[in-house]
Amino acid sequence: MVRFSIDVIGQALVAALDGDLDLHTCPQLKDALERTLEGHPHVKHLVLDVKDLTFIDSSGLGVILGRYRAVQARGGKLFFVKANPHIQRVLRLSGMHRIAGFVDSTKEALERV
């Protein structure tokens, strides 16, 4: 199961993720992120708080990368907040560390956008 909350703060979409993000749970997140991006054309940046994310695989990464492409087209950036070592390893394996910033707080992400 995955739970998430989504806020728009200035030009950033801030999403806090909780639980396992896999083939079964990622469509929910995908729909919610897409709807928020469509409803807020001024939003340029994606800030994902993954402190409580307990699992991610390539299905979950696909959803994040797809939404990154959308914000990238708006000139925005992607940040992961509080990625634990396991999540970091999967993000690294996928090359995500080359396109995203890793920070310790949402505040830090918002300062860096």
Q: Is 5 in the site for other proteins (CB under 8 A)?
A: no
Per CB under 8 A, the segment of 40-48, 57-65, 67-75, 104-112 that binds other proteins is 57-65
- With CB under 8 A as the contact rule, the residue among 32, 59, 72, 82 that binds other proteins is 59
CB of 23 to other proteins, least distance (A): 4
- Residues 91 and 53: their CA atoms lie apart, in Å, by 13
Q: Kindly give the pairing relationship between strand 12-21 and strand 2-9.
A: antiparallel
- With CB under 8 A as the contact rule, the residue among 94, 97, 108, 110 that binds other proteins is 94
Q: Is 101 in the site for other proteins (CB under 8 A)?
A: no
Residue 1, burial from CB neighbour count under 10 angstroms (0-12, 13-18, 19+): exposed
